[in-house]
Homo-oligomer: A and B are copies of this chain.
């Protein structure tokens, strides 16, 4: 690998990690804002999404530049393709964090509805999934990626329970339907963030185990 390509790949790694840490923070803050009905914090999440979008563009431009300048092959090409895929998933997580934040004002004004008890563990699990998915990517760690995929089942179960509670409460108090719809949307968005952490983890497994397959091919094929 040329020194220039090495330098560009390191720069790309820095950009994607910066994007990842912003998205992780956005998800964390959106969950906080939802839990505490903090509209100021929600506004900050919404404002912050622009920077995430800009970083996604930057990551894409850097990927295209590396591909055009250095014509990477095999593992490096696959790595860049992964960065593109992961940046897209991160951007979508950022969108969902914003969508959660947008539901906070609807929950902060009267009538105040109870936040389901299971929402806190659900969002904590989701944030853990996001963190682990990114760790798995950084360390090319398929085992950690697999724990993320297992956690998604728990988030799906949390989601089903909470939605049932929301429906029961809607039936009980008609005047609570509007804030409960905000809550319903927010919970669905949390669940979608967990899905994207799962997408990233699946890609990490493919990246790691694909690399192994390629490696074996090299061993099997005659050297030219």
Contacts and interface: CB of A to CB of B under 8 A. Distances in A.
- By secondary structure, the A interface counts as helix
A73 B65 CA distance: 10
Residue with the greatest number of chain B CB neighbours at <10 A, chosen from A88, A175, A185? A88
A18 interface: no
Contacts of A44: none
Interface in A164-215: 167, 170-171, 174-175, 177-178, 181, 184-185, 188
Interface stretch (A77-85, A126-134, A143-151): A77-85
Contact of A68 (B71, B174, B184, B185): B71
A185 B85 CA distance: 26
Contact of A67 (B61, B67, B175): B67
A212 B209 CA distance: 44
Interface in A64-96: 64, 67-69, 71-73, 77, 80-81, 84-85, 88, 92
Contacts of A80: 64
A115 to B, nearest CB: 18
A60 B84 contact: yes
Residue with the greatest number of chain B CB neighbours at <10 A, chosen from A61, A71, A177? A177
A85 B56 CA distance: 11
B81 A60 contact: yes
B64 A81 contact: yes
A76 to B, nearest CB: 10
19 contacts: A60-B81, A60-B84, A64-B67, A67-B68, A68-B71, A68-B73, A69-B71, A88-B88, A92-B92, A167-B177, A167-B178, A170-B174, A171-B175, A171-B177, A174-B174, A177-B177, A181-B184, A184-B184, A185-B188
